[in-house]
Amino acid sequence: MPSEAAELVFDEATKRYPDREDAAVDRLSLTVPAGEICVLVGPSGGGKTTALKLVNRLIPLSSGDIRIDGVSILEHDLTELRRSIGYVIQQVGLFPHYTVEGNIGVVPRLYGESRSWIKARSAELLELVGLDQSYARRFPAQLSGGERQRVGLARALAANPPLMLMDEPFGAIDPIVRARLQDEFLRLHRDVRKTVVFVTHDVDEAIKIGDRIAILREGGVLAQYDTPARILEHPVDDFVADFVGRDRALKALALRTLDELELAPAGAAEDGLPRLPAETSLRDALALLVAERKDALVVTDADGTPRGTVTREDLLG
């Protein structure tokens, strides 16, 4: 079975449909380093989902190539290729007639794993995605939307694939549960470093989830491929600037935390200033200063010990 994270390379990958003049994906070239999360984002018609499905050949390439650890997807046997790639979709697509454990076991069974192996793996993955062991015997119809997507994630991870494709996995889930699933997904990703391609139409989700973001514009053309901070701070053109939004400066602040700043020594003047732990984002810190009408705040350790102070100007860089 597959294991370590793989490097993914799009090399002039192109998808054209015979009945359409514009390409769906137009000479897309980008490299996702092993173990990183690459988010494909853009307006509808930008070809993000098409680009994702080119990887596991649910949609065949028209021209160009896609390589996983240097090997072209065209050289792999089709079913082998798909089994070695975790696939998560918005509507989840759990098998309604299989229990949660049965669903998690679909790909391992294709690899010929034993029943006991699948049982143990399912228990391990339920824990990883934050579901109680009692869920193993349940059917999908007995789960909430958020629980189904956790099972969908567990199922995609079951055979330990080096690469995961996730097509708007949290798109159909209410905002509160979505935020929690995003947090848990990031925590999970720190544990099981996989290479992930993640499609979303939500730029905030892209900024939160992505190590790198690829912004696609209509016609499937790559507008910019960069880290979230660089896209927010240095959008290459008006299209990207518009797409990430007028509040991109604020969004950029949300990516940084107080402990990245140089602190002035805490002095006598700290009395009456608001106090915040060092892992607070600059955006939240700024929001607090605005709300309390203050110009500076005290940065503390997790236990409340003061480390130093920062001013509003420090926050804004």
Q: Which stretch binds another protein (CB under 8 A): 91-99, 119-127, 179-187, 240-248?
A: 91-99
Q: Which residues contact 219 (CB under 8 A, 6 or more apart)?
A: 22, 23, 26, 45, 46, 47
Binding residue (CB under 8 A) for another protein from 30, 59, 106, 278: 106
Is the four-CA dihedral 31, 37, 39, 40 of positive or negative sign? positive
Angle at 225 between CA 181 and CA 172, to 5 degrees: 25
Q: Does residue 96 belong to the site contacting another protein (CB under 8 A)?
A: yes
* Contact pick of 33, 93, 277, 308 for another protein (by CB under 8 A): 93
* Cβ atoms 257, 315 nearer than 8 A: no
Q: Residue 39 pairs with which residues in a beta bridge?
A: 198, 213
Segment holding 208, helix H or strand E: helix 203-209
Site residues for another protein, 32-61, by CB under 8 A, read: 56, 58
Contact with another protein (CB under 8 A): which of 24, 61, 73, 107? 107
Q: CB of 15 within 8 A of CB of 33?
A: no
* 211 vs 228: CA distance, rounded Å: 7
Task: Note whether 236 binds another protein by CB under 8 A.
Answer: no
Q: Which positions from 139 through 198 interact with another protein, judged by CB under 8 A?
A: 139-142, 152, 155, 165
Distance in Å, CB of 91 to another protein, minimum: 4
- Residue 311 in contact with another protein, rule: CB under 8 A: no
Choose one: 85-93, 212-220, 231-239, 249-257; the region binding another protein (CB under 8 A).
85-93
Bridge pairing between strands 25-32 and 195-200:
unpaired
129 binds another protein (CB under 8 A): no
Return residues touching another protein (CB under 8 A).
Answer: 56, 58, 78-85, 87, 89, 91-98, 106-107, 110, 139-142, 152, 155, 165
